[in-house]
Amino acid sequence: MTIDLIELVKQQVSAIALDGDTTHLFEKNSAINQFIPILLSIFRSKPQLVESLQKQLNPRITDIFTANPNLKDQFLNHLSGGAPASEIEHSLNKSIAPTLGVLENEAGSSDPSAITHLLDTHADRILSAVPQWALPILAGLGINTAAGRTLHQAPVLEPTSVVAEEKKSNWLIPLIALLIILGLLTFLFKACSKKEEPATSATTVTQTAATQPARLQLTTGTDGMLTNCQIQTGDATYLDILQQQVKQIFTFATGCGATSDASYHNEFIDQDTIPTVLQKLKGVPNTTLTWTEKQISILSTNPADAKNLAEQIKPLAKNMTVMVQEGVNEQTTVDNSISDAQKALASINPDQIRALDVATALNLQIINFATGSSDIPQVNKSILDQAAALMQRAPQVHLTVQGHTDAVGDASANKKLSQERAQSVVDYLVSKGVDPAQLQAVGYGQEKPVADNSTKEGQFKNRRIEFEVLNTDNGKVREVNEEGVTETRN
């Protein structure tokens, strides 16, 4: 499959250029994304510039606009997006060297001719990615974007040139000058129009459609490192930036579960402070931080940790209300339960598999279904995969999967949902190779609570999946609980 060179460069270069940056991240990332196709167009047309920049330890965009420094100011004004032009220029400077590095790697050589050949093979994609406003600036640099090659200036005539050659080349000079003048006029017209335009109707539509606040939630494990992360935002570009920050700060290669659509707001309040807040969260064990609307809520198994973290965040996110929640940390409890179940399943001897051992291990995990859903959470599937592998080796293992809900809502609807959730677990195990005859699903709804339904903690405990051992010889089901194994029914 042919690579998308533009996207490849963006992904690698943005992460390097913005590493450790905490201010104006959105504007800087947007500037780099627009700059890259422009830079590649310039490299494609000017191999000599590639060679010149390769020799410099810290190449700068000033080196690109040496012949026309006024164009550089216009260029930066277009890219600043409200951020200081000096900061945007600094980020662009930092992006040049890694861009050359990616191109050299993809071309398999640092030779400028190899790099320009690579760029030629991706010419259509590069030119299509160049912003319209940049075309007059490229023309001002002598680059014909229609052909992708430098518009050569009027040739310097050697004294020995014949008169015929001189006449032949003279007509090029006014044509090139006319093209450049037209390009600059177009650029100035668009720039003026852009300043005078009110907010566009497209922006209004997006704002009207965004009915939900942007939301970020992160949970740490016992070591203070990330175990779970979710992002919802209407801005796909900022989502990518935030993903990169999460991966770098927590060394969390999988990144966050993410949703980006028009129903969510484009911005977080005080979003420039998010990377610094993530640094504060790192190392705080068993804690969940939720950032949405004007509120940051912190929930931890250790109240002192939550309070200390809140005090560190308050001076950073000055427009947010930082509050410490009390109660059970559901996500941490789920994560710890999955870790316990994994260890228990791994300890089972594959040559001596007992149904009781499998059921006991499975009951250590919490399957925390989303509200009203019977879709198995991704984090639980690895546990079920382990169990399925064991059950395939032990056809004598027969289990009943029980579904239970809390008492919130209609009882009949809850019972139906509990049956669907139990069946969903059975279906998943069967899809992984377990014989359907080894499993059965039963939904009890809210009929068998194990905790007080008047509290959130109690409701959380009541929403559960339980595994029972079925003795196929006498038809008795044995329930596995904290007190051991008991016969529950005939």
Instruction: List, as one string, the DSSP characters of 160-181.
Output: T--HHHHHHHHTHHHHHHHHHH
Give the separation between CA 188 and CA 193, rounded to whole angstroms: 9
- The confidence band for 78, taking pLDDT boundaries of 50, 70 and 90, is confident
Question: Hunting for tokens 């139906």 — which residue is that?
Answer: 416
Could you tell me the pLDDT band of residue 189, with boundaries at 50, 70 and 90?
low
Mean pLDDT of 417-434: 95
* Stronger pLDDT, 60 or 70, i.e. the higher one: 60
Residue 402 parent element (H or E): strand 399-404
Alpha helices per DSSP H over 290-377: 303-313, 330-346, 355-362
Burial-class residue 197 by CB neighbours within 10 Å (0-12, 13-18, 19+): exposed
Is 70 exceeded by the pLDDT of residue 426? yes
Q: What is the mean pLDDT of the chain?
A: 81
Structure confidence at residue 311 (pLDDT): 95
**The pLDDT of residue 147:** 46
Q: What is the pLDDT of residue 184?
A: 63
Residue in 251, 340, 335 with CA at minimum distance from that of residue 301: 335
Domain with CATH 3.40.1520.20 in the chain: 209-326
**188 pLDDT exceeds 70?**
no
The H or E element that residue 217 is part of is: strand 215-220
Taking the C-alpha atoms of residue 370 and residue 259, their distance in angstroms, rounded to an integer, is 15
pLDDT at residue 153 is higher than 80: no
Residue pair 462/452 in contact (Cβ under 8 Å)? The answer is no
Order of strands, sheet of 439-445, starting from the edge strand that comes earlier in the sequence: 439-445, 399-404, 464-470, 477-481, 484-489
Q: Which CATH number fits domain 331-489: 3.90.260.10, 3.30.1330.60, 3.90.580.10, 3.40.50.9100?
A: 3.30.1330.60
Please compute the mean of the pLDDT values over residues 384-395 and round it to a whole number: 93
pLDDT digits (tens, 9 = 90+) for 268-280: 999 989 999 999 9
Helix, strand, coil fractions of the chain, as percent rounded to 5: 50, 15, 35
| φ/ψ of residue 218, rounded to 5 | -130, 145
Check whether 105 has a pLDDT greater than 60: yes
Main-chain dihedrals φ then ψ at residue 468, nearest 5 degrees:
-120, 155
Alpha-carbon torsion, ordered 309, 314, 319, 324, to 10 deg: 50
CB atoms closer than 10 angstroms to residue 204: 11
More confident residue, 411 or 146: 411
* Two structure tokens written together for 158: 């050697």
* pLDDT of residue 132 exceeding 90: no
465, 402 contact by CB (below 8 A)? yes
- Give span(s): CATH 3.30.1330.60, the chain: 331-489
Level-2 CATH architecture, domain 209-326: 3-Layer(aba) Sandwich (3.40)
Q: How far is CA 393 from CA 121, 355, 400, 424, in A?
A: 53, 11, 18, 22
Q: Assign 384 a pLDDT band (cuts: 50, 70, 90).
A: very high
Between CA 95 and CA 314 the distance in angstroms is 33
Query: Is the confidence at residue 255, as pLDDT, over 90?
Result: no
Q: Look at residue 430 in the predicted model and tell me its pLDDT.
A: 96
Radius of gyration in angstroms for the set of CA atoms belonging to the chain, rounded to a whole number = 31
Tell me the pLDDT tens digit for each residue of 308-320. 999 999 999 999 9
Grouping H, G, I as helix, E, B as strand and the rest as coil, residue 131 is: coil
pTM score over 0.85: no
Lowest mean pLDDT among 54-63, 156-165, 438-447: 156-165
Three-state helix/strand/coil letters over 152-164? CCCCCCCCCCCHH
Cα distance between the two ends of the chain: 60
Mean pLDDT in residue range 146-169 = 43
Mean pLDDT of 203-219: 69
In the chain, the percentage of residues whose pLDDT exceeds 90 is: 34
Least-confidence region, from 58-62, 220-224, 228-232, 470-474: 470-474
Instruction: Pick left, alpha or beta for residue 484 (phi over 0 → left; psi -120 to 50 → alpha; otherwise beta).
Output: left
